[in-house]
Structure 1
């Protein structure tokens, strides 16, 4: 039995593109922090190469063996335990960002436990939903009772992540996976709609509980309102209109970077907005930096590669004989899809920016390794599938 080569090659190509741009887009960070010229390139090369090896070795395991199950359970338990202890670690062992500790420092490498937790969560949901949810028709009350323990646990776990790490983006992704995978497991559209409504209400409460977040939403809406207010009745448009707002400088530079690239780009390594105008361009704004250098045409090719990768995983999911494998593969595809669109929509101000990395393309080891574990497991499952 051989794992799906197309999925492996597509993943490896995207990882390689990320490695190339980790060198091209990190020039200002290298100068500012006085790093060696190849600092980010060498680290991303190590992350990417090891990620490819992770995919390869996991793909060789037997998806029906006890060891593969134990590995994913251990991933979930250890990552969550790290999330729990992270706020209590001394600063010598934890790296802070946005006023919260998000990484555990292990020598020269910093690990973000929440990235691995998402993969473990997908596996747990696939394993548990298979046993709790079937496709038989049920009353909405019965479905809610089935899903209630998951929602309760999710509110506790994801709430802890949000409170201790101040990371709404990862919390939104995790909650989305719980709802979406319940639907994939056989829950009705009514339950999915009900869960989405509840999640929306919780999200609104979270936003309005923080004045800084309210201001960010107001600034975001103020910059896109002219495109949407004409579609509403006059009374509603007047109620929703924001009189004044300041466009976040990051979004402004991101849009200018994309516009400056044009259709074919300025050329690899020739972007100017990465030179101190657009911070974190090799991480959160990697798509903006890429577009400036290789243009909308180059970005379109990357998007097509990404789409092919996601569709390939969905195809593997659709051919799975075991429900647990179908749900897991679907979860990995949804994680890739949702993360990509959260970042892409954020950098062009269609949605508020949440600092979610682009899997396989953004600089960083934790996201790379976690996604490679997920794809490696899909590759392992693909050996049992007729494509």
Structure 2
């Protein structure tokens, strides 16, 4: 008699190591926002603790939302994909109306109970939920173009179009990256992805070539010191901060670039402040924490039994990974500046809440893993203790 194996799902505690790393990152982020935002807070609001107090409120709210997401019923999570996409499209449309808050020529925010809500941050989560649903429930169509490729690309295209109208070119690129990697993981034929990638690249180049502002940012990225007081100013100041920090840094709170030299020091370029004040050692510790977080996320993804759960947890992890990777690439001058906040560290309510939703859902998925059931060759009963306990609970 051949021994056959089957799989079932066991429920257990959350991934405590992942949670511990995230709490450390949040605490570290609060300290750096206090350091990096004190000068701007004093100048604009006469309160050097202004950004720290707001960030503390965002983190506290985010932790509450994370706890809710951890124990949110999986059935509800798997049923809100269309609602999430609809609400996201509605909010993105609102940013294009007089209700949208215009900052530096871009209308990306909405007023929300005294705060500014950025729908783009939540569009990524909505897209992951939809793509995970579509790719898992339409596996038989994944190798056909008209029914397996066009629908997810069309939904992503609508979201990208609304983002480009704001305009927010960088956010649209991130959505396309999420689409590409999820379709790749979901079994879409590579030839379709290659053709689509070529078309999207051509469109992106066209948009850059026909936009003087984007062309200036691209040229500044290629040679930021050529216009160090203009379009290359942010990158140049970021390089100065990283160079000044050397190995051990100048000390917490002693950085000079945050003294109104480095724009967005408490937000998009907070890693530059970390590099200056804590040096290469601080950057290394930060990146090590990110590596542990990504490793735990990977373990959670491969531990899921259902394809939809795998894709959803992978997509949510991808949101965090893309944010961290692109932000680090920007401050080191490896890609053009895109205004991408680094998860857990950068100041910002919408980005913090969206990140904590991702974390909460990932920890939700960490509570389930696929167990291999090995039936006894004689009695046919399982010999896996965890499976025996699970069978008794559901008996």
Alignment TM-score, normalising by the size of structure 1: 0.87
| Residue 28 of structure 2: aligned partner | 17
Aligned to 1:239: none
Alignment-derived partner of residue 230 in structure 1: none
Does the 8 Å CA contact 1:80/1:114 hold for their aligned counterparts? Answer: no
Q: Secondary structure at the match of 1:187?
A: coil
Residue 77 of structure 2 is matched in structure 1 by: 68
Q: Does 1:321 align with 2:305?
A: yes
| Maintained 8 Å contact 2:63/2:356 | yes
Q: Partner residue of 1:241? A: none
The equivalent of 1:365 in structure 2 is 349
In 1, are the aligned partners of 2:317 and 2:362 still within 8 Å (CA)?
no
Deviations 1:14-68 (A, max 9, x none): 11111111111012211220332221111111111221221122111232x2x33
Gaps of 5+ in 1: 225-244
Q: Tell me what 2:333 maps to.
A: 349
Q: Rg: which structure is higher? A: 2
Contact 2:40 2:48 in 1 (8 A): no
**C-alpha distance in 2, partners of 1:260/1:252?**
12
8 Å contact kept, 1:15–1:360? yes
Q: Match of 2:107?
A: 101
Indicate conservation of the 8 Å contact 1:12/1:52, yes or no.
no
Task: Determine the C-alpha separation between the residues in 2 that align with 1:58 and 1:335.
Answer: 16
CA change 1:310–1:134 in 2 (3 A) is farther
Q: Is the 8 A contact 2:148 2:188 kept in 1?
A: no
Shift of 1:386: 5.6
1:56 is the counterpart of 2:67 = yes
> In the alignment, does 2:248 pair up with 1:246?
no
Could you tell me whether the CA contact under 8 Å between 1:144 and 1:191 is conserved in 2?
no
Q: Which residue of 1 aligns with 2:318?
A: 334
Partner of 2:195: 194
* Alignment correspondent of 1:38: 49
1:272 alignment partner, SS class: coil
SS of residue in 2 equivalent to 1:385:
strand
1:88 matched residue in structure 2: 97
- Measure, in 1, the Cα distance between the counterparts of 2:201 and 2:92: 25
Q: Distance in 2 between matches of 1:111 and 1:177?
A: 22
SS at match of 1:33: helix
How big is each residue's C-alpha offset from its partner over 1:270-311, in whole Å with a ceiling of 9 and x where there is no partner? 101000100110101011011111111111111111111112
TM-score (normalised: structure 2) = 0.85
Deviations 1:189-228 (A, max 9, x none): 333322322221111111112122122212322359xxxx
Say whether the 8 Å CA contact 1:143–1:187 is kept in structure 2: no
Which residue is 2:389 aligned to?
none
Give the distance between the partners of 1:187 and 1:68, measured in 2 at CA. 24
Partner of 1:153: 155
Aligned-residue CA RMSD in angstroms?
A: 2.0
Kindly indicate whether residue 118 of structure 2 is the aligned counterpart of residue 112 of structure 1: yes
Q: Which runs of 5+ in 2 are unaligned?
A: 1-11, 372-395
Distance 1:175 1:32, change over 3 A: same
Contact kept in structure 1, 2:224 and 2:236, CA below 8 Å: no
Query: In 1, Cα distance between the equivalents of 2:314 and 2:104?
Result: 31
1:280-295 equivalences under 5 Å are 280-295=264-279
Structure 2 distance, partners of 1:78, 1:272, is 43
Q: Which of the residues 14, 19, 24 maps onto 1:8?
A: 19
Measure how far apart 1:5 and its partner are: 1.4
**Corresponding residue for residue 391 of structure 2:** none
Q: Which runs of 4+ in 1 moved over 6 A?
A: none
How far has the Cα of 1:124 moved from its partner?
0.8
Partner Cα separation in structure 2 for residue 310 and residue 216 of structure 1: 31
Equivalent pair of 1:134/1:186 in contact (CA under 8 Å): no
User: What are the residue-to-residue correspondences of 1:80-229 with 2, within 5 Å?
Assistant: 80-90=89-99, 94-133=100-139, 138=143, 142-143=144-145, 146-163=148-165, 165-223=166-224
Verify the 8 A CA contact 2:123 2:159 in the aligned structure 1: no
| 8 Å Cα contact 1:79/1:113 also seen in 2 | yes
Provide closer, same or farther for how the CA distance between residues 386 and 156 of structure 1 changes in structure 2, counting only shifts above 3 A.
Answer: closer
Report if the CA contact (8 A) 1:76-1:116 is conserved.
Answer: no
2:234 aligns to what SS in structure 1? helix
Equivalent-residue separation in structure 2 for 1:72 and 1:152 (angstroms): 15
